[in-house]
Structure 1
């Protein structure tokens, strides 16, 4: 899981008490087993609920305490200060607590549960030092440095303003708060937090006669993982879980390690790998360490902002929290990684019961998501993998284990239907420190040659992730940005380009790159429909709705790049009514080259007035130009309204033909459930609104073609849906609108790359009478590259507009068809 993006979702878990045996600091050695878990000195004081002070120990394995002691030193010892000793006996059971009662005060109302040992030391309520010693002889050290050199001290905590401590002191306690361990890094400040006292004895008893907690269970990893997506031991404490460490995440707020059982069972449904979550604490284990782990089994759901476990569609990660472990040996051979070959992962993505699949028994030989779930936390490997999703801003990329699965012409994986999700795709992140091995900066079609391997994780950003402990060698491919041909004199070139929230707040480099692409890569089309044009102060949320500065700066950049002086037409939206980035007042706009086309300006078009189609002398005519389609209809709530314009080509002369262009930006797919989620098939909730929007646009198309069946019509833009989707399919009709993209080879039908899937969200559709005259080119300059000016690729259609007189149109097509 990408650490940056998981930070907020793990903030609550980061405060969970984690009793972890970690690496030694420079000045001390950690306890290999027993540690001080909690210290409370406010018992019986004013405002306290508990009547007694206490010290609590814990250990991941059973430890005899015969002959041991806990000892207390004041926070600011003088040369004559002496350690106060409480002798111990008995043992700490594995995964349990050991409670030591200390002095009792006059206040408080709740007694401790029956202690496992009793002393008379009067602990300070705010500051002091407690040491766990494997001897009952009083300590003599009075400084942190001297105490760090005493081998008998197994653990030590200085809290408040304590002079003797490990690292910086733990927080101060109080009459109502203790200090409790969350880790063991030999830095008391990092290892302890202040909170409510929680005394518990070896029987699991708590204050007030609380019932003992359930006894911890010995378990192996495959028993914890189980045969479904949810652990049968979720919520239970487990101990003595064996395995070999296979990967360590040492950065971010979701740190921890993976370990894998070297003695797997025979059930293909049960994973042999597991993640141990340590929050913001780096676990002091190394790959190859043989460990015994104790902790609480939990299902972690990576959540988006506003989501809850109840309503998320994401799958969970089975993990251990509040963990303790012991390293039994180091340098062991890690279990071999399973190689993902072209036929390893099934093609069907998941069972489709029409709901939650978590309770279904896994079928790893039948479904891709079941296959990956049955390997959760285990080591997987891909060899000589082709990149199908470029490196993103979070140091992740996508490769495929199925190079022959729906390949695009440029090395990607083409998403062709809901039934074929390209299950060879897998996300790659890295556990290798970037200072040691920078993450590959890769484009689609590049390769990671050799071996890429590591434990399998899960993230809400793309699903299953291979956390690489070894990365293949990055080999760049031949991919280069495309350039389309210049339109011929008789051809009208019309393009669509989503410029990704363009506003004057963007630096000049973005304007220059986008404008340069229009001039050089798109060969300066005659008409350009731009999506995601923001108002003149971008994301500043005020009453500004004009985009004059945005469009002027863009068209100036086109001229500076050697292009024509475009004019523009657009309609300012009602403030904050069209969705997109808050304050941005996103909209679509037309650019046009007045040397090649003219715009028919008809008054009456505004943000709330719907366009109508009239017939005049057997030809279609708009009631207003530019104008909007049904802007008050609920289908456009919080969404961009289509912009309709009437153009004439060529710009002057007796042979002018009318051309009607509809620029669109349908509502986003935000809120749709992911392909990799626990709900199958995924619910595409945003589709309902796009379907309604498509029906309104189709209604306009039908009215236009009813007025003039020969009308030159182009419907284009970011429709935010696939060519096979219900929304786009509802626009298409052999007697109305057709998709020139369907005439392209299958491997060239895409304009966007998401999670390793090359897909089509941007479209240019033309009236059916233009089908044989239209030539479409998707110009790949962004989506396949790690360095992008926009996340969309533009596309352009070139055609000879019809005159409406059939014999002239047929003759023109014949003559121009013979020209080079």
Structure 2
């Protein structure tokens, strides 16, 4: 069970007030009583996302209890009308919210419920998500027990539309009539609170620490090579994705620990819910049996003697306070799965005191602990280069001072140290006799550019491999924090963070152009966590003018991913090469993102080049 899904404001009335202020409810709808005969659940749910009775009192609404949530601070029960109307747009189920009190009902009870119709916005109305129609301040009467339950609505390719959401030009879709045969989000909203089921569901997002996983109701849609679903375009959000949590007692029904590509064989069923940690999901009262399809962690090949191997790896807030086990697993992956790359661009290296906000910015202890672990795992005696950031100027956890850094194997490659690099001094390209060099190595790319505000600054290093200079730029662009969710009420969702990443991409693109202006044959590798997709405006800006090639586009389509979010396999990390590097061999090495047991949430990548 997910503790995250159980948070909610103390006063539902505050949510109604906020919704009224935002114009989400009609004036006068926040008080009074429903009238005009018996009110049933489909009358409350209505044919849009907002109940026509929001804020009103309803009395003796009939139905059968289908599920009970008896834990956490968001307890209550779902009940469903066994006598539906003729409209596919109106849900026949609804949640009765009882706060921290366990409701005195059982599955199969025939009840009548009275209370206030409320719209609950997960994360608050300002978060931009959809609301959940509920009955609050409720009382009820149990009339009989042991009644048959309504049949579960089957989620399958024939019932989930391929189009994800109506397009409101960036505005709210709350006032639009639901079209469940046309849009997946409308289909799910028309089933809110009702019992739904998936059969033999393939896992597309591994079990996380909150006891959640994602499955797909469309197993043939955009399948990856290893059983996930590929997010390849803003036009296709993979509408069959559904989150699975459990209402079953954990002692008798432990939540399955599943990897991508596993299956929940049989029936997984329960009421369809919505929260701010993944959108629509099934609160399971029945869980399919886990079928382990034995997903294996990948291993890349060793570079040949004349190949330079450059890797990128987001090590996820690594500091000396990180567990010894994680250091060992990161080291093992670098040595065994990545075959000891010659150069590694690391992201999310924290300072020597981790997230303690004490003005410490050095990271020597962090990098020593990692390189010691690599040596203990049988790897090379890596050396490192990095530049300490200004305190709390590069984003990430306050006090953590995350930065990018280089590891390199001095037995295979040398680092060209050029003094002068620091947190605020921009590195310059120096042309000498038709060749390019740097004013400082390592150096920071355009650190005063507003594009890098509260974000990591790129680090460029000049290396020498078999007598040939190679320039590597390590990056960690700004995150997607603050963007509207793809399952929210604003469609198409605004992606406000794209603008900053676009400016960051332009800055790196300009720097690479300077290198190539000094030496058109310069060998340049740009790598790191760019926090954006291969089809995004930021990647178009980074590759503008053909100066860089995004290598992910050279992989077979079903292999283009290295991160899994809400059941979508996608690309956030990239390796790009300059046009002179035509002999490249690129690999995303799947060791983390598809697995419940992760050393990081990112998969590392490696490119082998022949300068």
CA deviation profile, 1:509-563 (whole Å, cap 9, x unmatched): 1111101110001000000000000000001101110000000010000000000
For residues 637-786 of structure 1, the aligned pairs below 5 Å read 637-650=453-466, 656-733=467-544, 735-770=546-581, 772-786=582-596
Whole-angstrom CA distance in 2 between matches of 1:740 and 1:636: 24
Choose the corresponding residue for 2:138, options 299, 312, 323.
Answer: 323
Which residue matches 1:5? 4
Choose the corresponding residue for 1:214, options 26, 29, 32.
Answer: 32
Say which SS state the counterpart of residue 555 (structure 1) adopts.
Answer: helix
Choose the corresponding residue for 1:553, options 355, 369, 383.
Answer: 369
Which residue matches 2:450? 634
Whole-angstrom CA distance in 2 between matches of 1:363 and 1:768: 48
Which residue matches 1:184? none
Cα shift at 1:216: 5.2
Whole-angstrom CA distance in 2 between matches of 1:329 and 1:14: 32
Cα shift at 1:739: 1.6
Say which SS state the counterpart of residue 108 (structure 2) adopts.
Answer: coil
Kindly indicate whether residue 175 of structure 2 is the aligned counterpart of residue 351 of structure 1: no
Which residue matches 1:274? 94
Which residue matches 1:581? 397
Cα shift at 1:475: 0.7
Give the number of the structure with larger relative contact order, counting CA–CA contacts within 8 Å between residues 6 or more apart.
Answer: 2
Structure with greater Cα Rg: 1
CA deviation profile, 1:4-60 (whole Å, cap 9, x unmatched): 1144433345999xxxxxxxxxxxxxxxxxxxxxxxxxxxxxxxxxxxxxxxxxxxx
Pair 1:472–1:6, CA change in 2 (3 A): closer
Which residue matches 2:27? none
Cα shift at 1:614: 1.4
Kindly indicate whether residue 134 of structure 2 is the aligned counterpart of residue 314 of structure 1: no
Kindly indicate whether residue 611 of structure 2 is the aligned counterpart of residue 795 of structure 1: no
Cα shift at 1:343: 2.4
Whole-angstrom CA distance in 2 between matches of 1:588 and 1:736: 23
For structure 1, which runs of at least 5 residues remain unmatched after alignment?
17-212, 651-655, 802-820
Pair 1:791–1:476, CA change in 2 (3 A): same
Kindly indicate whether residue 301 of structure 2 is the aligned counterpart of residue 302 of structure 1: no
Kindly indicate whether residue 427 of structure 2 is the aligned counterpart of residue 611 of structure 1: yes
Residue pair 2:34, 2:53 contacting (<8 A) in 1 also:
no
Whole-angstrom CA distance in 1 between matches of 2:487 and 2:410: 48
For residues 175-214 of structure 1, the aligned pairs below 5 Å read 214=32
Choose the corresponding residue for 1:570, options 386, 406, 413.
Answer: 386
Kindly indicate whether residue 157 of structure 2 is the aligned counterpart of residue 338 of structure 1: no
Residue pair 2:238, 2:568 contacting (<8 A) in 1 also:
yes
Cα shift at 1:729: 1.4
TM-score computed with the length of structure 2 as normaliser:
0.96
Which residue matches 1:56? none
Whole-angstrom CA distance in 2 between matches of 1:296 and 1:706: 69
Whole-angstrom CA distance in 1 between matches of 2:352 and 2:484: 34
Whole-angstrom CA distance in 1 between matches of 2:546 and 2:113: 68
Whole-angstrom CA distance in 2 between matches of 1:437 and 1:543: 47
Cα shift at 1:359: 0.5
Whole-angstrom CA distance in 2 between matches of 1:282 and 1:435: 19
Choose the corresponding residue for 1:237, options 57, 64, 69.
Answer: 57
Kindly indicate whether residue 51 of structure 2 is the aligned counterpart of residue 262 of structure 1: no
Choose the corresponding residue for 1:449, options 253, 257, 265.
Answer: 265
CA deviation profile, 1:307-358 (whole Å, cap 9, x unmatched): x42x221100000001011111111110000111222111111111121110
Kindly indicate whether residue 387 of structure 2 is the aligned counterpart of residue 388 of structure 1: no
Whole-angstrom CA distance in 2 between matches of 1:359 and 1:429: 29
Kindly indicate whether residue 485 of structure 2 is the aligned counterpart of residue 486 of structure 1: no
CA deviation profile, 1:603-628 (whole Å, cap 9, x unmatched): 11110000111111111111110000
Whole-angstrom CA distance in 1 between matches of 2:196 and 2:546: 51
Residue pair 1:14, 1:279 contacting (<8 A) in 2 also:
no
CA deviation profile, 1:290-321 (whole Å, cap 9, x unmatched): 11010100000111xxxx42x22110000000
Whole-angstrom CA distance in 1 between matches of 2:410 and 2:482: 41
Whole-angstrom CA distance in 2 between matches of 1:229 and 1:472: 30
Say which SS state the counterpart of residue 8 (structure 2) adopts.
Answer: helix
Whole-angstrom CA distance in 2 between matches of 1:683 and 1:495: 32
Kindly indicate whether residue 349 of structure 2 is the aligned counterpart of residue 533 of structure 1: yes
Residue pair 1:3, 1:253 contacting (<8 A) in 2 also:
no
Whole-angstrom CA distance in 2 between matches of 1:425 and 1:3: 18
Say which SS state the counterpart of residue 294 (structure 2) adopts.
Answer: coil
Kindly indicate whether residue 176 of structure 2 is the aligned counterpart of residue 375 of structure 1: no
For residues 64-143 of structure 1, the aligned pairs below 5 Å read none
Whole-angstrom CA distance in 1 between matches of 2:501 and 2:420: 27
CA deviation profile, 1:703-750 (whole Å, cap 9, x unmatched): 111111111100000000000000011111463100222111111110
Whole-angstrom CA distance in 2 between matches of 1:733 and 1:727: 10
Whole-angstrom CA distance in 2 between matches of 1:702 and 1:763: 19
- Figure out how many residues of one structure are paired with residues of the other and give that number: 593
Say which SS state the counterpart of residue 464 (structure 2) adopts.
Answer: strand
Which residue matches 1:418? 234
Superposition RMSD in Å? 1.3
Whole-angstrom CA distance in 1 between matches of 2:538 and 2:387: 25
Residue pair 2:8, 2:74 contacting (<8 A) in 1 also:
no
CA deviation profile, 1:416-468 (whole Å, cap 9, x unmatched): 00000000110011110101100000000000000001110001111001111
Cα shift at 1:684: 0.6
Choose the corresponding residue for 2:418, options 602, 620, 642.
Answer: 602
Whole-angstrom CA distance in 2 between matches of 1:457 and 1:733: 43
CA deviation profile, 1:209-239 (whole Å, cap 9, x unmatched): xxxx734544100000001000000000001
Kindly indicate whether residue 445 of structure 2 is the aligned counterpart of residue 625 of structure 1: no
Whole-angstrom CA distance in 2 between matches of 1:228 and 1:312: 19
The runs of at least 4 aligned residues of structure 1 exceeding 6 Å deviation read: none
For structure 2, which runs of at least 5 residues remain unmatched after alignment?
16-30
Whole-angstrom CA distance in 2 between matches of 1:406 and 1:740: 20
Which residue matches 1:66? none
Kindly indicate whether residue 122 of structure 2 is the aligned counterpart of residue 290 of structure 1: no
Cα shift at 1:256: 0.5
More deviation, 336-345/432-441: 336-345
TM-score computed with the length of structure 1 as normaliser:
0.71
